[in-house]
Structure 1
Amino acid sequence: MLDIAWTPTLDTLTRNAWRLSFGGGIAPVERTPSTLIAEGPHRDLYRFDGNSISDDRPVLLVPPLAAPAQCFDLRPGQSLAAHLVDSGKATYLLDYGSMGYADRGLGFEDWIEDIIPTALEQVSRFHDEAPVDLIGWSLGGTLSLLTAAGRGDLPIGSVTAIGTPIDYRAVSMIAPLRTVGRFTGDRPLTAVTGMMGGLPAPLVQASYRFTALQRELTKPWFIARNLHDTETLARMESIDRFMADMPGYPARFFQQVCTQLILGNALVAGKFETRNGPLSLADISVPVLAIGGTEDVIAPVASVRAATEVLTGSPSARYESAPGSHLGLVAGPTARTTTWAHIDAFLDDAVARIA
């Protein structure tokens, strides 16, 4: 006999179908409350409301470029920021905003020598010069690591790099680019973007959707199969909004990604060249946690795990894996008990080391 308690009602099915088609969506956008405490070009600094005074070891969330800062705060239940606040952490977020043609000359240097250090020092001052724990996702992890490598004088307590590739040879989806690049260099990738001033937002959005091609192709069936499940549809909707909000890359930054990371595989050698000289990942002297996703095609586990081999100056270079895609690592249905739990344990250990 059919269990009525588990039977989706016609009302739920009809309501979800209407909201997806004509009603403005399954769930409204709902962010964790925050306050803008400092602003500037590509460097707006927010503090999430809550336990912002009680904790003397603050956290700064560092997003990648070409992704909205809301990657850490998609919606209730999909918010690493809310989780950190609820656990008693004073939590801050950098927001770079959009990128336009006028930003074409911005490169890694602008973030690792200026934008991130400035925000980090501001956060530290709010907490009596306390060390700040950096948490970066994707290229936000790369920026955090390079900041720690180049500025040993900064009050950095630790670095967590989520879904941050180190060995780009392990990223199978870019293998064709690396093969062609042996003969052509970066020109096929960067010639057009140089003229446009960068990689425009629509191309970034299309590229990200391509990495989840199966999801995009099977989406109609996924919706039909889950039309009764409002929470699952709300999660899907939050990811769609995230992808639709992706900004572009500045031309110089994108060229550095192509030449040094994708083609040069510089990070696996522990080096990165800037206009002001080389940086060495071996110079990082704080604890580091690298987290890789078992279903991540952008940063496969082998690529992320390589961090433990190059961070030779770190007192603790730890690797953990978690189920999930690239975004799923941060905001997936199991993130709370996997990725977030790894971060909690790591931050507790990092504090204990100096206690």
Structure 2
Amino acid sequence: MNIATTPKDTLFENGTAKLYRFRQPEGVERKEGLPILLVPSMINRWYVLDLRPGASLAKALVEAGHDTWCLDWGIPNDEDRYLTWDDVIARLGRMVRRVKRETGAPQVGLLGYCMGGTLTAIYSALEPENVATLVSLTAPIDFSEGGLLATLVDERWFDPEALTEPGNLTPNQMQDGFVSLRPTGQISKWVLLADRMHKPGFTDSFFALEEWVGDNIPFPGAAYRTYIGELYQQNLLHKGEHYVRGERVDLGRIDCPLLTITADRDNICPPKAATALNEHVSSTESEHLSVPGGHVGAVVGSKGPRILYPAIADWFGEKLAV
């Protein structure tokens, strides 16, 4: 299975996390512009952004001439049960500073996917001087609009403290939670395979996505309690009452160009949960793009290379030019 095939180098490691820099393809000249750091979710593996040939946002960006980097959060160890939400934000900050150091750039462009978008929004509010542009890709900000997932973790019946008392949230616990959002999905996907397996390239796409979906990782216990308790259950980020390292996260401090991207069939991050970011920021350039697909399909599905990837590459090309 050809997974995560875009050539890259590991430039820095911090705990379990790694910082990748994708190599520029032969014959493609790198643009004169600021670098881009891709920030995936901590919930799943990073390579959803470089899934396979023909479905890779990372490859699309480097082929467009962008200096493209990616944060791989890594696979938490047992001792990472003590990794706090503050530690996670601090780790993201170290990666940003490393990109700046390696490239000599005064700022970076950030793209955060899913929970990675929530983290980049928080970081951008805390250290706006380091962020040139922000793309928030299907990332929740107003968790009261979180749809089925918000209902699943409602504090009336969901206790993140109890779940993480033994340590990290396990991969099976994570996977079971998402399966419960669409219980029939496990059957319908195999029906879909039987129906479309004759189409060229479909089976490669199907099994690449299956490998990523099944490659679940633990979630650090301490960070998980904050993520669910303060963001989902209390919605403190949207209310302006969320604190990191003792500092209030004021999303109004984000003043760089912002592009919020939503997927029209997203049941993980419904559009209203994501577009709330545009209502908070003080950016003079604040845009919203809706693309077809679900939370994952919009990024790795057949329409991603035709609609999503060019839109992001072009937007960065305009905003990061120096």
* TM-score normalized with structure 1 length: 0.84
Give unmatched runs, 5+ long, in structure 2. none
CA distance in 2: counterparts of 1:300 and 1:87, whole angstroms: 29
Answer with 169-178 or 299-308: which moved more.
Answer: 169-178
Deviations 1:243-301 (A, max 9, x none): 11121211111111211211111232244222423211111121111111111100011
Deviation at 1:203, TM superposition (A): 1.4
Give the aligned partner of residue 128 of structure 2: 152
Q: Does 1:165 align with 2:140?
A: yes
Q: Is the 8 A contact 1:198 1:248 kept in 2?
A: yes
CA distance in 2: counterparts of 1:238 and 1:257, whole angstroms: 29
Deviation at 1:159, TM superposition (A): 1.0
Deviation at 1:177, TM superposition (A): 4.4
Q: What secondary structure, in the 3-state scheme, does the structure 1 residue paired with 2:134 have? A: strand
Q: Which structure is richer in relative contact order (CA contacts within 8 A, separation 6 or more)?
A: 2
The 5-angstrom pairing of residues 191-270 of structure 1 reads 191-270=161-240
CA distance in 1: counterparts of 2:299 and 2:51, whole angstroms: 10
Q: What secondary structure, in the 3-state scheme, does the structure 2 residue paired with 1:104 have? A: helix
Q: What secondary structure, in the 3-state scheme, does the structure 1 residue paired with 2:227 have? A: helix
The 5-angstrom pairing of residues 53-132 of structure 1 reads 54-55=30-31, 56-112=33-89, 114-132=90-108
Deviation at 1:230, TM superposition (A): 4.2
**Residue of structure 2 aligned with 1:135, choices 111, 124, 133:** 111
Deviation at 1:88, TM superposition (A): 0.3
CA distance in 1: counterparts of 2:214 and 2:247, whole angstroms: 36
Give the aligned partner of residue 351 of structure 1: 320
Q: What secondary structure, in the 3-state scheme, does the structure 2 residue paired with 1:259 have? A: helix
CA distance in 1: counterparts of 2:207 and 2:290, whole angstroms: 26
Give unmatched runs, 5+ long, in structure 1. 1-26
Give the aligned partner of residue 272 of structure 2: 302
Q: Greater CA radius of gyration, 1 or 2?
A: 1
How many residues align structurally? Answer: 319
Whichever residue aligns with residue 41 of structure 2, its letter is P
Answer with 205-214 or 337-346: which moved more.
Answer: 205-214
Q: Does 1:39 align with 2:13?
A: yes
Answer with 86-95 or 52-61: which moved more.
Answer: 52-61
Q: Is the 8 A contact 1:269 1:310 kept in 2?
A: no
Q: What secondary structure, in the 3-state scheme, does the structure 2 residue paired with 1:50 have? A: coil
**Residue of structure 2 aligned with 1:331, choices 293, 297, 300:** 300
Whichever residue aligns with residue 21 of structure 2, its letter is R
CA-atom RMSD in angstroms = 2.1
